[in-house]
Structures are given as structure tokens and as C-alpha cells.
């Protein structure tokens, strides 16, 4: 290893970017798999039996990644026909797939039923009728459905990604009785089989409290349903486990949250005189987020005197808001580090910006970087695996980066870098 | 025409969506061309001679659109190699193309010089050296360059799209002397020829004041340069002309802003004892934005009781933040209308949301819609031509909509709708 050269999974980023160019997402496969295994083991240990862990593939989906997490015993959560098609292309068995979505089409539901998915998570009252109708058309019976419950609890990051308060599009309200009505409607639908209740409270959550509160709320509804003769075998507690983006931060520890949740579920079930249900969870970001790093090449370096007279070094890279929109979309924080050499000892206040024609095109709002950073240097931005490539655009007709897997045989692109020719192929003139 | 069916360019959206499905961007070609012509004519009339109008292709770029605006006498502003490649694929002559960008690569500069572009807009001091070096490598002389000046003035919409305050990545500061230094450096570079100064103050601007103030600032620098023997033939006043998104709003009138600007430029030149320079401008949104409408199909319709006890109808459509991220990225406002029939007389407070697995997936934050809106209805969202398809993503692996041109022969897709197969083609397994 050369001094100052960042290594990932035993490979130097200078070697990798010679082969794969920049910008690239670099995925540490062993880290990805270890994170998947950690959720599986932590929840199984806390609950004293297997807990189904659905990988929320919206965070990042590719057939290779789905195969790796499935090999670790995870199932796959899909939210659209595209995600479902990718899971099926990866060879994930239908029974290990769950289908979410606030606005599933009849076609998506038919594909899911045809594939024999393990569950369809019902998100509205009219959807019960729709799923029942599609099931009848396909002469399918016993279609496993869950009900997504809006518990009124929300936690975590940006308002856009809080999902269980009332004024948002997801789920069936506990407060208004819609969730309870859904259970009756499902019980009255001959083709459908209720497998459980679902709760998702938000994203990038850093404590267990909200999860436990939501679990108690859902267990209360379960007790009510069971008193009315409707069996609810399973509770899904959703995802939203937070990760570290900045130095000094730490991921939410799966062992801690699993122990807290197991304690809360057991206590609530005891208080209700109910059995402990099957449990499932849906981590996405916490599995794939920290497992990827984006590597960019530095271009224009521009010292700017701001309105208050202070200095800021604008460091432009060969990507930007097209490959990471989280910074400006959620006011998200990232860090960046020089990756190809030892920088000078002096550091400066810097902002990492992209090459797009927009002043909001910011990758890292504020970071200390070596004062001698210069064009041609490599810059690494960690923790970009979730909602990076998956939210990427072709803004300014910039081709999207590839995703390079490290540690599963030789380094290779599992998602191919786009070219300008790819973009023009959609242009029919 | 059937009652209540929206018509665009003489075609009913019900017929169009039967052929092209939803969601689709529908482009009224005559409207696009008329808007291009209006800028051309308004500025020529106000300045008493032709003004070069560069279409800012970042707003939306496809070869057909570039050919249509070029046929109206416009030139094409590009910000990346991808936009440049598209302009060249459209057959736009090099001299009618301008290249922008805060972080141009040597390759992008070489392509631009090779194509004989009309101007390269210099955005930093190191870029002068880079362009000179590439020009020398190509044995090119007389490479036309402009200098982008940060005037300290900003105006318009969201902070992300204000571009002439000091604390942002673009341009060379008037205040610190960087812009003046750039002029000297260009004069000392044998391969480069200074063609002018450039100012861009922001986006979605609704008054002339900021443009005029920026023009005066840039004319002051021009006078200073000419006193030092550096000729500055042209001033580009940039883009940022605002458009109507909501009922009751109006586009910034090109005739009004042209008249105000011509007055300000003449007065300032008279005060400085200088000739009136050549003028160019760079509208993008104001040409393509209002010329497109997105048409969606309604899916789940869900009444929600919000925390304050009021009612909101969540109307889900078959697209969302993947085809229009402006709503959540810039807190942008849109409207929506029922497009396939006459709705009931009663209206309700509604929010139009997408099908993505995220609560921020909002297309129209608040709009009154007929209370009887239902699954299968068509919903039209106007003014989506700029930064809609160009910022689109495949979030949740949702294929991006096509763009259908109306009024140039039979309706046809000028940008093809993606398929799930397109997405899987990038997945290398």
C-alpha cells in the first residue's frame, strides 16, 4: 500500500479508479454481508427465535446485492414492479419477497401473486378489493396480506422520510379505525389470508424508543383483532435504523435496538395476556449504506471569499447532485477525504461541489480538506450505498456511475457505468 | 372533443394516453417554438438589432427540441459533454453552441474546440490555463472565450438556484478582482480570444431589476477592461426568466424585461461613454417549461384525517418524485387538473402524491380537485417541461416516462419511455 492511498476490501482506490474510472460507487461485499448477518443474528438472539429480515431494496437494488443478502438469510422487500422484477431476476424465491407500495397497479399485484410472494402489504382500503379481484382473476387463493398501520408515531430524520404521522400517504390509520376496518374487510375476502400487521415509523432513526412505542400500538390492535376472532400471527416493525455519515457518529446498534424491542414486545404481550407474535423487520440503509463509498476525481479548485469575509475552498468533482441528491434533498451531511496521497498538514474549510449547472449542486456542505488539494486528486465520500445510485439522475445529461463490487472474486461492475450513447439511445430524434 | 377531456395541440389526452400510456410528458411543439420566437423578437426589438438567444438545454435537451429552437434562430447553451454531444447529434453547427460549466474536463473542452463552438464560458482562473493547453494540443487558435462574472447580485427562487452571490461555486468575483485578473490572463494567452463577459443571477426571476443591476455591474467591468486596452464585444445577461406554475400567475414577459434591460444598458453605456455591446441571453425554463404537461393515471385515493382534525384527500398517481423532484427539492408549487371527464361540482382539499416508497413523494402539495376523483382518472400537471424529465431518476426502479411531441406531424415519442428491461440491462449480475 502506498502512503495515503485509501484501501477498500484490500484494493487501493488508485488502482480501482484506473480500471473503473470516476465517479464510481465502490461496494465492500464482505461488509454488506456482515451487516445483513448482524441484523439476522441480533434479532434472533434478542427474540430467542428466527426473525425475518427483509432487505428494503429501495435503498439499493441490483441482482448481485439481492443474492448476497439472500445468501445471508435475508428476504427482499420490494415497492414496485421494477424492484420485484429485479428480485425475480436475481432468483429470489417468491416466498422470500414482500411487496409494498401505496399505489400498486393491478399488474404489479398480479406479478406478485403469480410469483407467490410471501406477503403483499395492504396500504389502503380500496387495495383490499383490488388484490382480491386480481387474486380471483388468477384463481389464486390464500394470498398472504399484511396491513400497514399508521400509528401516529414518527421518528427519525427529515420530514419527507417520516412515515407514520397521520398527514402522509402511507398506511391505514389506527386513530380513525381504518386499520381495524381493513382487518374485517380482509377477513371477509375469501381469496386473502391475513398474515400480520406492519408498522414503519421513519428513516435514519437513532434510538429504540419510537420502534418500541409503535410496537405497543400495533400489539394493541392485534389484541383487539384477536378478541374479535381475527388471528394476527406476525408483526413487522419496519426499517429506519440510522447509520453514521460523519466522523464521530455511530450506526444504531442492531443488538441494542433488538434487545429493546424484544423487551418492549414481551412486556406488552404479557400485559395484554397475548402470545408473542412472529416478528419481521425491514432494514435497507443500515445494510447497504455504509458498505459503499463514492470516489470522485477533483477538477476545479476555487477559493471563494464569502459575504462575511471568510474563506471557503470550493472543490469541484466529476459528479454531483446527479449521483448524490441527498445533500440538497434532505439537507444530509457527508464527509469527504483525500484518497490518493498524503495531503499537506494544513487544512482549509472546504465545500465539495459537483459539475452540474446549479448552485445547489453540493455533495459535502462543509469539510476540512488538505489545503494543497488539487485537480487530479481522488476524493472519497463514505456511506453512499443507500439512496445514492438508487436516486441518481441524468441531470445535465451526465451518465450515471457504475457500482463496483469488491471482495467477490475480482473487482467487477455489478451495475454498469452509463455512457452518453446510452442516453442518446432514448432520444428518438 | 368530449366534455371535460383536456386537449393539447388539438389532441385529446384520453386518445394520447391510450397510445402512449401514462405517465407521459406531452410537448406542444408550436408553443415551444412560439416561446423561442418571442424571446428572439422581443430582445431584437428592444435593442434595435439581433440579440443572440442561447437555449439553456439543461432545462430539457433532446435532439428534436434543439432542432426546433434552432430553427427559430436560437443557439444552444450546453453545460456538459452529454449536452454537447446531444447538440452535435441534433446537427446544431458548432458556432451556434456555447459551453458552460464550473468543472469542465479536458475532454469536454477538446470536444468543444474540435466542434468549433461559438464560445466557452470560463468559470475559474485555472480553467484559462486548461483551455489554453487543450487549444495548444489541438493546434487551435482564436478559441472564443467569455468570462463568467460573479456580480454579488442574486434574485429569484430557491437558494439552490441563485447563482451570483459570492458563496457559491460559479464564476469569477467582481469584488475580489478575480474577474479582472481573468481578463488579463486571457489577453496573455495566445490561443484564446475574449468575446465577452457573462452574468447569470438566478432562476425563476419575476422582475427586471436584478437583471438590470447585474448588467450595470458587468458594463462597469467592461469599461475598466477597455480602458486597459482589452476589448469586450459582448455581454451575456444569462437566463432565469420566471414562468407561471399556478393559476393566476403569469410568465415574466420577455417584451417587458427586454425593454427594461435595453433601457438600463443604454443608460449605463451613455454614463460610461461606452458603445452598446452585443447582447446575448440564455433562457431555458421560460421556453420549454410551460410547453409540457405531465399526464398521470390516478390510482389509490385515500381520505386522511390530519393531526389538526382537518381532511385531506391523498390522490396517488403512477409516477411521482422520479419524474418531478422539483416539488420536494425546491418546495416548488404546481397545480393539477382532472383531464378525462367533467368532475363533480364539489371539490376537496387534495394532495397529489406518487407511488414511491417515501412520504416526501409529493407532486402537488395542495390543490382543489373534484371530490369524485377516482382510480383510472387522468390527472394533468402543467408546466413540467423544465427540470422535469431532465432531473428524473429511476428511484424504486421505476422506468422514466417518455416525451411525446404534439404538432410536428403525427404525435410521436421524441424521448422513448424506459422499460424495466432497460433498467436490468445496466445490471451485470
B126-140: per-residue pLDDT in tens?
999 999 999 999 999
Those of residues 407-426 in A touching chain B at CB distance below 8 A are: 412-416, 418, 420, 423-424, 426
Residue B400 lies in a domain: yes
**A333 and A231 both lie in a single domain:** no
**A contacts of B167 (beta carbons < 8 Å):** 304, 306-307, 312
- Whether the link from the prior residue into B23 is cis, omega within 30° of 0, is yes
**B contacts of A63 (beta carbons < 8 Å):** 424, 427, 429
**Span A423-427, average pLDDT:** 97
DSSP state of B316: E
**Span B350-379, average pLDDT:** 97
CA A237 to chain centre: 15
pTM confidence score: 0.97
Tell me which H or E stretch contains B302: strand B292-305
**B58 and B106 both lie in a single domain:** yes
Q: Do A428 and B418 touch (CB under 8 A)?
A: no
Pick the catalytic residue from A1, A345, A357, A426: A357
pLDDT at A265: 97
**A78 and A169 both lie in a single domain:** yes
**A179 and A102 both lie in a single domain:** yes
pLDDT, tens digit, for every residue of B183-196? 999 999 999 999 99
Total domain count, chain A? 2
pLDDT at B395: 98
Degrees, nearest 5: CA angle A324-A245-A334: 45
Q: Out of B123, B355, B415, whose CB is closest to A103?
A: B355
Residue B65 banded pLDDT, cuts 50, 70, 90: very high
Task: Using CA atoms of A160, A166, A172, A175 in order, give the dihedral in degrees to the nearest 10.
Answer: 160
| Percent of chain A scoring above 90 in pLDDT | 93
Contacts of A161 (CB under 8 A, 6+ apart): A202, A203, A204, A330, B358, B359, B360
Residue B178 lies in a domain: yes
The three three-digit cell numbers of residue B89, written as one number: 447529434
Per-residue burial over B132-165, b = 16 or more CB atoms within 10 Å of its CB, e = otherwise: bebbeeeebeebbbbbbbbbbbbbbbbebbbbbb
- Whole-angstrom Cα distance, residue B277 to residue B280? 10
Residue A160 pLDDT > 60: no
CA A345 to chain centre: 37
**A66 and A136 both lie in a single domain:** yes
CA distance A347 to chain B (A): 19
Residue A185 pLDDT > 90: yes
**B281 and B366 both lie in a single domain:** no
**A255 and A328 both lie in a single domain:** no
**B contacts of A101 (beta carbons < 8 Å):** 355, 357
pLDDT at A2: 79
The CATH number of the domain holding residue B176 is 3.20.20.10
pLDDT at A52: 98
Residue B172 pLDDT > 90: yes
Those of residues 358-387 in B touching chain A at CB distance below 8 A are: 358-361, 375
**A136 and A252 both lie in a single domain:** yes
**B279 and B302 both lie in a single domain:** no
Instruction: Pick the last residue of a domain from A263, A284, A305.
Output: A284
Residue A70 lies in a domain: yes
CA distance B123 to chain A (A): 9
Angle between helices A63-71 and A29-47 (to 10 degrees): 40
pLDDT at A426: 98
**B225 and B161 both lie in a single domain:** yes
pLDDT at B2: 79
Instruction: Pick the last residue of a domain from A284, A300, A320.
Output: A284
Instruction: Pick the last residue of a domain from A224, A258, A284.
Output: A284
Residue B330 lies in a domain: yes
Residue B39 lies in a domain: no
Query: Residue ranges of the alpha helices (H) in B274-358?
Result: 285-288, 326-329
B152 neighbors B161 (Cβ within 8 angstroms): no
Nearest alpha-carbon partner for A193 in A248, A132, A250: A132
Domain that residue B192 falls in: 51-285
Q: For residue A190, count other CB atoms closer than 10 A to its CB.
A: 11
Residue B273 lies in a domain: yes
pLDDT, tens digit, for every residue of B17-32? 999 999 999 999 999 9
Nearest alpha-carbon partner for A280 in A101, A130, A82, A56: A56
Residue B43 lies in a domain: no
pLDDT at B157: 56
- Whole-angstrom Cα distance, residue B417 to residue B322? 13
Residue A44 lies in a domain: no
**A260 and A329 both lie in a single domain:** no
The CATH number of the domain holding residue B351 is 2.40.37.10
Range with lowest mean pLDDT among A108-117, A283-292, B160-169, B414-423: B160-169
pLDDT, tens digit, for every residue of B198-214? 999 889 999 989 999 99
pLDDT at B309: 87
The three three-digit cell numbers of residue B319, written as one number: 409516477
A299 neighbors A316 (Cβ within 8 angstroms): yes
Residue B161 pLDDT > 60: no
**B233 and B193 both lie in a single domain:** yes
Amino acid at each position: 500500500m502506498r502512503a495515503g492511498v485509501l484501501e477498500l476490501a484490500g484494493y487501493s482506490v488508485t488502482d480501482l479508479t484506473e480500471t473503473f474510472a470516476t465517479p464510481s460507487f465502490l461496494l465492500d461485499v464482505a461488509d454488506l454481508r456482515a451487516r445483513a448477518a448482524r441484523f439476522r443474528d441480533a434479532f434472533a438472539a434478542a427474540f430467542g427465535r428466527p426473525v425475518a429480515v427483509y432487505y428494503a431494496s429501495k435503498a439499493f437494488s441490483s441482482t448481485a446485492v439481492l443474492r448476497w443478502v439472500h445468501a445471508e438469510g435475508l428476504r427482499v422487500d420490494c415497492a414496485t414492479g421494477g424492484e420485484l422484477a429485479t428480485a425475480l431476476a436475481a432468483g429470489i424465491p417468491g416466498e422470500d419477497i414482500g411487496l409494498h407500495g401505496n399505489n400498486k397497479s393491478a399488474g404489479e399485484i398480479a406479478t406478485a401473486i403469480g410469483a407467490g410472494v410471501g406477503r403483499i402489504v395492504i396500504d389502503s382500503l380500496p387495495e383490499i378489493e383490488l388484490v382480491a379481484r386480481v387474486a380471483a382473476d388468477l384463481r389464486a387463493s390464500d394470498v398472504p396480506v399484511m396491513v400497514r398501520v399508521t400509528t401516529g408515531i414518527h421518528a427519525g430524520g427529515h420530514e419527507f422520510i417520516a412515515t407514520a404521522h397521520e398527514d402522509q400517504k402511507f398506511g391505514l390509520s389506527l386513530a380513525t379505525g381504518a386499520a381495524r376496518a381493513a382487518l374485517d374487510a380482509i377477513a371477509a375476502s375469501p381469496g386473502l389470508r391475513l398474515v400480520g400487521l406492519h408498522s414503519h415509523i421513519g428513516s435514519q432513526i437513532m434510538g429504540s424508543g419510537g420502534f418500541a412505542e409503535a410496537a405497543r400500538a400495533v400489539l394493541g390492535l392485534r389484541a383487539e383483532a384477536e378478541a374479535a376472532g381475527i388471528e394476527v400471527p406476525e408483526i413487522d416493525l419496519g426499517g429506519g435504523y440510522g447509520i453514521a455519515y460523519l466522523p464521530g457518529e455511530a450506526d444504531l446498534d442492531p443488538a441494542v435496538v433488538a434487545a429493546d424491542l424484544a423487551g418492549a414486545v414481551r412486556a406488552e404481550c404479557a400485559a395484554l395476556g397475548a402470545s408473542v407474535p412472529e416478528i419481521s423487520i425491514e432494514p435497507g440503509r443500515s445494510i447497504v449504506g455504509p458498505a459503499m463509498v463514492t470516489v470522485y476525481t477533483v477538477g476545479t479548485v476555487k477559493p471563494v471569499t464569502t459575504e462575511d469575509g471568510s474563506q471557503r475552498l470550493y472543490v469541484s468533482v466529476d459528479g454531483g447532485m446527479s449521483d448524490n441528491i441527498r445533500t440538497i434533498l434532505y439537507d444530509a451531511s457527508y464527509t469527504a477525504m483525500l484518497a490518493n496521497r498524503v495531503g499537506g498538514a494544513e487544512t482549509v474549510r472546504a465545500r465539495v461541489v459537483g459539475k452540474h449547472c446549479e448552485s445547489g449542486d453540493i455533495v459535502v456542505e462543509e469539510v476540512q480538506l488538505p489545503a494543497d488539494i488539487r485537480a487530479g486528486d481522488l476524493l472519497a465520500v463514505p456511506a453512499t450505498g443507500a439512496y445514492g445510485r438508487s436516486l441518481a439522475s441524468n441531470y445535465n445529461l451526465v451518465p450515471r456511475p457504475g457500482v463496483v463490487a469488491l471482495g467477490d472474486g475480482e473487482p467487477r461492475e455489478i451495475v454498469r457505468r452509463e455512457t452518453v450513447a446510452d442516453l442518446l439511445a432514448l432520444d428518438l430524434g
